[in-house]
Amino acid sequence: MKNSHIYIIFVFFGILLSLNHQIQAQTLQDAYIAIGEQRYEAARQVLDKLTTDSTSTTTDKAELWFLRAKTYAYIAGDIRGTFTGQDTVALFKSYKAYQEVLNLSSQERLYADSAKIGLDSLHNVALNIAGNYYKQAYKMTREIGVSSDLQTNGLYKVAFQAAELAKKLDFKDTLSHSIATYSAFLRQDYPNYIRAMKEMTEVLEDDKIKYERYENLIATCRDVINDSEETLRALDLALIDFPDDEKFLKARIALNEEMGQNNEKLLNDAKSRVKTNPGDPINYFNLAVVYQRLNRSYEALDNYIRCINLDPSNFTAIFNVAGIYYNQGVEKLKEIDELTFTKYQKEGEKLEKQADTFFKDSLSYFETLQKLDPNNLVILKSLKQIYTRLKMTVKSKQIKDTLNEMGVNN
Q: Looking at residue 2, what is its pLDDT?
A: 45
Confidence of residue 258 (pLDDT cuts 50, 70, 90): confident
Measured distance between the N- and C-terminal CA atoms of the chain, rounded to whole angstroms: 61
Kindly tell me if the per-residue pLDDT of 305 is higher than 50.
yes
Confidence of residue 82 (pLDDT cuts 50, 70, 90): very low
Q: Looking at residue 107, what is its pLDDT?
A: 53
- When comparing pLDDT for 47 and 212, which is higher? 212
Q: Looking at residue 55, what is its pLDDT?
A: 58
Q: What are phi and psi of 391, to 5 degrees?
A: 60, 35
Report helix, strand or coil for 106: coil
- Classify burial at 15, counting beta carbons within 10 Å of its beta carbon; exposed 0-12, middle 13-18, buried 19 or more: exposed
CA 40, chain centre distance (Å): 28
Kindly tell me if the per-residue pLDDT of 206 is higher than 60.
yes
Confidence of residue 212 (pLDDT cuts 50, 70, 90): very high
Kindly tell me if the per-residue pLDDT of 299 is higher than 90.
yes
Report helix, strand or coil for 85: coil
What is the per-residue DSSP string for 297-346?
A: HHHHHHHHHHHHHH-TT-HHHHHHHHHHHHHHHHHHHHHHHTS-HHHIII
Kindly tell me if the per-residue pLDDT of 120 is higher than 70.
yes
Measuring CA to CA, which residue among 224, 213, 350 is closest to residue 286?
Answer: 224
- When comparing pLDDT for 20 and 350, which is higher? 350
Q: Looking at residue 172, what is its pLDDT?
A: 92
Mean pLDDT (whole number) for 207-214? 94
Q: Looking at residue 28, what is its pLDDT?
A: 77
Task: Give the C-alpha distances (Å, rounded to integers) separating 249 from 219, 230, 256, 263.
Answer: 15, 16, 11, 21
CA 156, chain centre distance (Å): 13
CA 311, chain centre distance (Å): 22
Mean pLDDT, the chain, rounded, equals 83
Q: Looking at residue 125, what is its pLDDT?
A: 92
pTM above 0.75, yes or no: no
pLDDT digits (tens, 9 = 90+) for 306-362: 999 999 988 889 999 999 999 999 999 998 888 888 888 888 889 999 999 999 999
pLDDT digits (tens, 9 = 90+) for 89-98: 889 899 998 9
Interhelix angle 281-293/315-337, rounded to 10 degrees, is: 30
Q: Looking at residue 127, what is its pLDDT?
A: 93
> CA-to-CA distance for 268 and 304, rounded, in angstroms?
17
- When comparing pLDDT for 366 and 11, which is higher? 366
Mean pLDDT (whole number) for 45-71? 77
> CA-to-CA distance for 375 and 391, rounded, in angstroms?
23
Kindly tell me if the per-residue pLDDT of 230 is higher than 50.
yes
> CA-to-CA distance for 321 and 319, rounded, in angstroms?
6
| Rounded percentage of the chain residues whose pLDDT exceeds 90 | 41
